[in-house]
Amino acid sequence: MYDGGKIITGIIIGLVFLTFPIWYTHGTVPPRPEVKLPVKEKECVEPRPYMKTKHMQLLDLWRDSAVRVGKRSYIAFNGKKYNMSLQNTCMSKDCHAKKTEFCDECHNYTGVVPYCWDCHIEPKKEPKEKPEEKH
Ligand code: HEC
Ligand code: HEC
C-alpha cells in the first residue's frame, strides 16, 4: 500500500524547503552591529552580560519602582547609588547619550521597537547632525 519512493521524495523535498534559509544564505547571517559603548563610564548599573540579556526587565523594574512605589534610588552591583531614571541616568551624557549608535543599532538589528520614546525624551542629537533650532 505504501509507496516508499513517494514518501522519500516527499521527505527530501521537505528537507530542501526546511533548510532553504541555511543554504540560500550559505549559512551566513548579517554582520552583527557595532554598538558604541560609553567612553567615560566603564561600568553599567549591573555587569555587562546581565545588561545584555536583562536590560528590559531592569528598566521595567526601575519604572515600576519609581512610578508606583516612589523609590528612585538603586544600589548597583558595584555599590554605587543611581537615580532610577531612563532619561537622566541611562541616557545621560556620560552614558548612552548617543541612542542611535547604541540602543538603536542593536534594536534595528534584532527588530525591536520599544515604545518608551512615545513619551520619554530621546537624548539630544549631536549638533553636527541636527543644529539647535533658535527660537
Ligand atoms: C505613556 C507614556 C509613557 C510610556 C510609553 C513610557 N513611559 Fe516611562 N514614564 C512615564 C511617566 C509619565 C513617568 C513618570 C515620570 C516621573 O515621575 O519622573 C515615567 C517614568 C519612568 C521611569 C522612572 C523615572 C525616569 O525618569 O525615568 C522609568 C525608568 C521609565 N518610565 C521607563 C520606561 C520604559 C523602559 C518604557 C518603555 C518600555 C517607558 N517608560 C514607557 C511615561 C511613559
Ligand atoms: C546588544 C543589543 C541591545 C542593545 C545595545 C540595547 N538593547 Fe534593548 N533590547 C535588545 C533585545 C534583543 C530586546 C528584545 C528582547 C525580547 O524581546 O525578549 C530588547 C528590548 C528592549 C526593551 C523592551 C522592549 C519591548 O517592547 O518589550 C527596552 C525597553 C529596551 N530594550 C531598552 C533599551 C535601551 C534604552 C537601550 C539603550 C540604552 C537598549 N535597549 C540597548 C537588545 C539590545
Per-residue pLDDT tens over the stretch 27-41: 677 788 889 999 999
**Residue 119 confidence (pLDDT) above 70:** yes
What is the percent of the chain with per-residue pLDDT over 90, rounded to a whole number? 66
Bigger pLDDT: 27 vs 18: 18
Given a contact cutoff of 8 angstroms between Cβ atoms, the answer to whether 105 and 33 are in contact is yes
Determine which residue's CA is closest to atom 17 belonging to ligand 2. 112
**Residue 82 confidence (pLDDT) above 80:** yes
> Going by C-beta distance under 8 Å and a sequence separation of 6 or more, which residues neighbour residue 106?
33, 35, 112
Residue 19 pLDDT: 85
121 lines ligand 1 (CB under 6 A): no
Given a contact cutoff of 8 angstroms between Cβ atoms, the answer to whether 12 and 66 are in contact is no
58 lines ligand 1 (CB under 6 A): no
* Maximum Cα interatomic distance, the chain, rounded to a whole number of Å: 84
59 lines ligand 1 (CB under 6 A): yes
Determine which residue's CA is closest to atom 13 belonging to ligand 1. 67
Determine which residue's CA is closest to atom 21 belonging to ligand 2. 56
Q: Which grid coordinates belong to 88?
A: 537622566
Lowest-confidence pick of 10-14, 18-22, 43-47, 114-118: 18-22
| CB neighbourhood size of 130 (10 A) | 9
C-alpha of residue 86 to centroid of ligand 1, in Å: 7
Given a contact cutoff of 8 angstroms between Cβ atoms, the answer to whether 57 and 64 are in contact is no
